[in-house]
């Protein structure tokens, strides 16, 4: 077969260009946003998903928020663009939690915009809060790649998120919560999603030790870095055989070694699953930032819709929403009622698996101020 002469695309012949950085944010700002930059006076909640922002100049901007599945087709992004051209002079933004926000000046266009987005894209309007009146929507679930694209996950991400949000849909579109609730999902303990300070977090966990493939370790791994990746010192180099050995009693299945070394696969379809954590937060409001705490050590993977995970999340959310006072996030609610009552009210089982025995986090950390809240 004769190799065919293929005509090269212009992109294939250009000299690579580097280090020019992202586009400047100023070119992305709606003219009214640019004009009133740094000069906003106040905001108010119009309805779930819609916030009115008033500038010192008297100018008004509305932001209209919609939940997205994060994984978007370019053909959907183009449809988003068409809608933004029609209603928003071509300006929009995304939030830190996978929502899209349309930016517009004419309040009469809000309802038609919401209708068009819901009809064409199926994205729900919501996810905001009315802090003045202590009325909150659930925010979108921030999440990672999972089985869609990651090599180390203990669970899928998008499938659980879709299943949970289907069940909690009305909480996103309506003000049904007494305080902010941020749910996050990371598909392994590597936590690209950094879910460790969320009101409710779902974390993929393994429960069986990695299976060391000596030949693959020899071919594909750097032994010192693999050994160094182990937080508990369970891995030791075996220099003679040019591989690693594992002390099963020390391993807590974090998978960090597999991240470093393909020769230590840790997947186990029957034993992988998720842990559920609660009562984390990052805002300083009322109560200092908190790390999330494990309240369910493991629920097995049950694709495609993970019903046990969905029902557990729903139970926690609704128990909290029923019993919490206004503005009381899960962390603050538990602080008031005590963990005894948390487990009693949610019906979750407290077991020895929930008592911390991970010794690497130093004791000193408890005295460090993890907050910008202090007196002058």
Partner 1 sequence: MPVVDGVELPETPLLDELEKGPWPSFVKEIKKTAIEQEKAMKAGKKIKLPGAAKGLLKVLELAYKDKRTHWKHGGIVSVIGYGGGVIGRYCDLEDQIPEVWHFHTIRINMPAGWFYTTKALRTICDVWEKWGSGLTNFHGSTGDIILLGTRTEYLQPCANALAYADQLYGGVPFDIGGSGSDLRTPSACMGPALCEFACYDTLKACYEFTMRYQNELHRPMWPYKFKIKCSGCPNDCVAAKARSDFAIIGTWKDEIQIDQEAVREYAKVIDIEEHVVKKCPTKAISWDGKELKINNRECIRCMHCINVLPKALKPGKERGATILIGGKAPFVDGAIIGWVAVPFIPENELIEKCCEMLEAIWEWWDEEGKFRERVGELIWRKGMDEFLKVINQKADVRMVYAPRNNPFIFWRELNE
Strand partners, 351: none
First-to-final CA distance of the chain: 79
**Total site size for partner 1, rule CB under 8 A:** 138
Q: Which is nearer to partner 1, 189 or 321 (CB)?
A: 189
Q: Does 119 bind partner 1 (CB under 8 A)?
A: no
Pull the structure tokens for residue 41: 């006076």
Contact between residue 346 and residue 338 where contact means Cβ atoms under 8 Å apart: no
- Tell me the per-residue interface mask from 172 to 201 with partner 1, x by CB under 8 A, - otherwise: x-------------x--xxxxxx-xx----
What's the closest the beta carbon of residue 59 comes to partner 1, in angstroms? Answer: 12
In the list 40, 298, 339, 343, the residue contacting partner 1 (rule: CB under 8 A) is: 40
Burial 264-280 (b: 16+ CB within 10 A, else e): bebebeebbbbbbbbbb
Q: How far is CA 204 from CA 86, 255, 321, in A?
A: 41, 11, 25
Q: Which is nearer to partner 1, 240 or 360 (CB)?
A: 360
What's the closest the beta carbon of residue 347 comes to partner 1, in angstroms? Answer: 25
Burial of 335 (0-12, 13-18, 19+ CB in 10 A): middle
In the list 146, 175, 274, 324, the residue contacting partner 1 (rule: CB under 8 A) is: 146
Q: Does 7 bind partner 1 (CB under 8 A)?
A: no
Strand partners, 131: none
Q: How far is the C-alpha of 127 from the C-alpha of 72, rounded, in Å?
A: 19
Q: How far is CA 331 from CA 22, 140, 197, 282, 310, in A?
A: 37, 19, 10, 11, 21
Q: At what angle do helices 110-120 and 74-88 cross, to 10 degrees?
A: 160
What's the closest the beta carbon of residue 200 comes to partner 1, in angstroms? Answer: 14
Q: Does 23 bind partner 1 (CB under 8 A)?
A: yes
Instruction: Tell which positions 235-294 bind partner 1, by CB under 8 A.
Output: 254, 256, 262, 267, 269-270, 272, 280, 282-287, 289-291
What's the closest the beta carbon of residue 256 comes to partner 1, in angstroms? Answer: 5
Q: Does 358 bind partner 1 (CB under 8 A)?
A: yes
Q: Which is nearer to partner 1, 25 or 240 (CB)?
A: 25
Q: How far is the C-alpha of 312 from the C-alpha of 309, rounded, in Å?
A: 5
In the list 96, 108, 119, 248, the residue contacting partner 1 (rule: CB under 8 A) is: 96
Q: Does 343 bind partner 1 (CB under 8 A)?
A: no
Stretch that binds partner 1, among 207-215, 234-242, 346-354, 356-364 (CB under 8 A): 356-364
What's the closest the beta carbon of residue 219 comes to partner 1, in angstroms? Answer: 12
What's the closest the beta carbon of residue 236 comes to partner 1, in angstroms? Answer: 17
Q: How far is the C-alpha of 278 from the C-alpha of 294, rounded, in Å?
A: 7
Q: Which is nearer to partner 1, 19 or 340 (CB)?
A: 19
Tell the residue number behind the tokens 């055989």, with chain if given: 241
Q: Which is nearer to partner 1, 248 or 359 (CB)?
A: 359
What's the closest the beta carbon of residue 113 comes to partner 1, in angstroms? Answer: 14
Q: In the Cβ-directed half-sphere of 143, how many Cα atoms lie within 13 Å?
A: 32
Q: Which is nearer to partner 1, 2 or 364 (CB)?
A: 364
Contact between residue 64 and residue 94 where contact means Cβ atoms under 8 Å apart: no
Q: How far is the C-alpha of 344 from the C-alpha of 298, rounded, in Å?
A: 19
Instruction: Tell which positions 67-86 bind partner 1, by CB under 8 A.
Output: 67-78, 80-82, 84-85
Instruction: Tell which positions 209-228 bind partner 1, by CB under 8 A.
Output: 220, 224-225, 228
């Amino acid at each position: 077969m004769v190799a065919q002469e293929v005509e090269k695309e212009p992109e294939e012949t250009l000299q690579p260009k580097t280090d020019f950085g992202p586009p400047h944010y100023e070119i992305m700002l709606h003219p009214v946003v640019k004009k009133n930059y740094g000069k906003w006076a106040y905001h108010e909640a119009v309805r779930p998903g819609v916030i009115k922002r008033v500038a010192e100049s008297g100018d008004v901007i509305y932001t209209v928020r919609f939940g997205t599945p994060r994984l978007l087709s370019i053909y959907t992004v183009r449809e988003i663009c068409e809608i933004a051209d029609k209603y928003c002079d071509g300006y929009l933004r995304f939030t830190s939690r996978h929502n899209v926000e349309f930016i517009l000046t004419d309040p009469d266009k809000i309802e038609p915009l919401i209708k068009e987005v819901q009809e064409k894209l199926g994205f729900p309007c919501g996810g905001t809060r009315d802090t003045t009146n202590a009325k909150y929507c659930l925010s979108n679930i921030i999440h990672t790649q999972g089985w869609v694209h990651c090599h180390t996950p203990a669970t899928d991400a998008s499938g659980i998120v879709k299943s949970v949000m289907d069940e909690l849909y009305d909480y996103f579109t309506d003000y049904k919560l007494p305080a902010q609730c941020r749910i996050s999902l990371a598909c392994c303990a590597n936590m690209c999603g950094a879910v460790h300070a969320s009101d409710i977090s779902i974390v993929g966990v393994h429960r069986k030790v990695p299976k060391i493939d000596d030949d693959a370790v020899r071919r594909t791994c750097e032994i010192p870095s693999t050994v160094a990746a182990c937080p508990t010192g369970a891995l030791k180099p075996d220099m003679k055989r040019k591989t690693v050995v594992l002390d099963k009693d020390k391993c807590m299945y974090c998978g960090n070694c597999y991240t470093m070394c393909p020769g230590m696969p840790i997947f186990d379809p029957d034993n992988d699953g998720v842990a559920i954590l609660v009562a984390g937060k990052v805002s300083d409001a009322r109560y200092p930032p908190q790390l999330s705490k494990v309240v369910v050590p493991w629920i097995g993977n049950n694709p495609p819709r993970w019903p046990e995970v969905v029902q557990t999340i729903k139970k926690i959310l609704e128990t909290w929403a029923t019993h919490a006072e206004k503005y009381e996030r899960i962390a603050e609610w538990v602080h008031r009622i005590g963990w005894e009552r948390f487990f009693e009210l949610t019906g979750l089982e407290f077991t020895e698996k929930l008592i911390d025995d991970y010794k690497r986090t130093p004791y000193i950390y408890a005295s460090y101020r993890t907050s910008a809240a202090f007196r002058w």
